[in-house]
């Protein structure tokens, strides 16, 4: 997958040229238009958009239609994400509903990448394996993600998580953890560097919160290919404004 363009878009993911992704977190159409206006104004500093569908308060099918229509004018690759409450998201839903929402979104071609939670994929491995295969048949990129908002696991645990995500068929692996000390941040960055130097699969690694901000900036050290920033509201602790992050990345 190294240096492969995102489904015909001009966006090429690689650890040599990390990209900036901003979250889209509207609860309704009014907020959707407001947030997209802010993204449009900052377009030069934004490479990808992540629609956090778990923030949408109405029927998902209405959100899918609204977001799909509005994104036609943005021309950025879009990640589809439903983050559950167990990993810091806004929805507490059963696995069957989670799967149904993802399959429903496949009717809308604007979504090029899908972020699926590793722990949910493991719950019903056979059924979720079919979902992963279906996403790949639709030429979608799969991010398998793991979030720990309480702590930073051991180096061995973090590396095992990344390896497991890769083994399950992820096109990109994602690990976001919460540091309690500067050493936690250093450890996450060391694990990220080790993984990206020894694997072809690209990685997104984050040490969250103010303590971990440097993990969002020093991407050439960690090998992480995407850093998450804000155009409006943050979707995770420690995200920087996109314009500020762009300037910082250019100095690395």
Residues with a catalytic annotation lie at: 147, 174
Per-position DSSP letters for 103-136, written without gaps between them:
HHHTT-TTEEEEEEEHHHHHHTHHHHHHHHHHHH
Nearest-5° angle of CA 120, CA 132, CA 230?
Answer: 70
**Secondary structure element (H or E) that encloses residue 33, with its range:** helix 29-41
Exposure class string for 163-194: b at 16+ Cβ within 10 A, else e: ebbbebebbbbbbbbbbeeeebbebbbebbbb
Q: In whole angstroms, give the CA distance from residue 103 to residue 72.
A: 21
């Amino acid at each position: 997958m190294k240096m492969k363009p995102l489904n015909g878009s001009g966006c090429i993911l690689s650890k040599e040229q990390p990209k900036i992704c901003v979250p889209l977190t509207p609860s309704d159409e009014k907020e959707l238009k407001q947030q997209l206006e802010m993204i449009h104004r900052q377009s030069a500093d934004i490479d990808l958009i992540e629609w956090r569908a778990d923030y949408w308060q109405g029927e998902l099918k209405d959100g899918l239609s609204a977001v799909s229509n509005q994104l036609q004018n943005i021309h950025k690759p879009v990640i589809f994400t439903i983050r559950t409450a167990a990993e810091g998201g806004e929805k507490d839903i059963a696995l069957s509903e989670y799967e149904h929402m993802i399959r429903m979104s496949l009717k809308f071609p604007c979504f090029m990448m899908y972020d699926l939670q590793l722990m949910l994929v493991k719950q019903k491995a056979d059924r979720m394996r079919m979902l992963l295969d279906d996403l790949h048949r639709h030429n979608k990129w799969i991010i398998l993600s793991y979030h720990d908002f309480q702590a930073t696991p051991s180096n061995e645990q973090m590396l095992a998580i990344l390896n497991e995500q890769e083994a399950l068929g992820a096109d990109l692996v994602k690990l976001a953890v919460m540091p309690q000390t500067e050493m936690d941040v250093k450890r996450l960055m060391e694990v990220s560097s080790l993984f990206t130097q020894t694997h072809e699969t690209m990685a997104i690694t984050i040490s969250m919160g103010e303590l971990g901000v440097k993990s969002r900036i020093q991407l050439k050290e960690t090998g992480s290919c995407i850093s998450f920033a804000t155009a409006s509201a943050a979707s995770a602790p420690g995200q920087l404004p996109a314009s500020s992050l762009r300037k910082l990345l250019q100095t690395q």
